[in-house]
Amino acid sequence: MRPGRSARETPGRVGMNGGAGALGGCMDLSLPPVAPVPSPYGGLSRHGVSYALRTGFRPLLLDLHVPAGEGPFPVVVWLHGGAFREGDRRYLPNTMRPGSVFEALVAAGLAVATVDYRLSGEARYPAQLDDVTAALRYLREYAGELGLDADRLGVWGESAGGTLAALAALTTDAVTAAVCWYPPTDLAALGHHGPDSPVTQLLGGCSSELVAEADGASPVHRVTSAAPPFLLVHGVRDDLVPLSQSEALHERLLAAGGRSVLVPVEGAGHCFGEYPDVPGLIADAVAFLAAELSPRAGRAG
């Protein structure tokens, strides 16, 4: 290990406060946080933080935007979509004003970490969830230096990022609340079985043949009574990921005794296409996270 790097175990089912052991004994490498600079959203930003360095892969980066003033601040991890095979931590869907999600979070007094993860052309699942888990662990490890409250940590993802947000919330003890926008939650039920489908590329084979792998990558099959509060928002006219995917997760969460709010968005397609008030949906998600991550919210499951 070269000087200046830190090593951490890469967990399977992760107990962030001392749970499961390493996945195959693998170790993550990372670099300490870069110096902050003035943020376009107010406060300070750290761009291109190397939260995981994996042999044979590009460095995995996150950007962190922290509000002005005295911390520590709650933090929300943003996970981009892109069918698991494309996307960038810095950019929102084109149905949203650039940076609007990050700006709204910071304005509400919440830090936001925007996270890249390995795409399906680089590695098969569960590499993507391993990366998100590594990012959560990094933020907890450096919380003091970064001005974060590691006990108030939310996740927010859209499309494929919504799947990863849900999986992180359901498979670690680090997440206090989750917002999932139009997420695939049951990969087999999507019916995407062709060789070029996003699901096939993610799993490395057809979901009808890789049943255990598909179930492991599907939030509906990972729900337990320990699930944190969820906000699921989904366009009624979404023809890429049907509303039934969010409905299925919502029903599983309620059946397990969890708290879940499902918001079907009338007239909206995927990425809320054709919907006239996407800023209102952003505001609602930020309000949910601000309430759940407040010091008074507790950690009801």
Confidence of residue 19 (pLDDT cuts 50, 70, 90): very low
pLDDT at 29: 86
Domain range 6-292, CATH class: alpha beta
Residue 67 tokens read as 């509000």
CA 207 to chain centre: 22
Q: Could you read off the pLDDT of 219-242 as tens digits, one per residue?
A: 999 999 999 999 999 999 999 999
Confidence of residue 27 (pLDDT cuts 50, 70, 90): low
Q: What is the mean pLDDT of the chain?
A: 91
pLDDT at 204: 95
Q: Domain-by-domain residue ranges, the chain?
A: 6-292
Q: What residues have CB less than 8 Å from 56, skipping those under 6 apart? A: none
d(CA 61, CA 81): 16
Q: Could you read off the pLDDT of 235-281 as tens digits, one per residue?
A: 999 999 999 999 999 999 999 999 999 999 999 999 999 999 999 99
Residue 21 has pLDDT above 90, yes or no: no
Averaged pLDDT, 180-186 = 98
pTM: 0.91
pLDDT: which is higher, 106 or 208: 106
Q: Could you read off the pLDDT of 147-170 as tens digits, one per residue?
A: 999 999 999 999 999 999 999 999
pLDDT at 190: 93
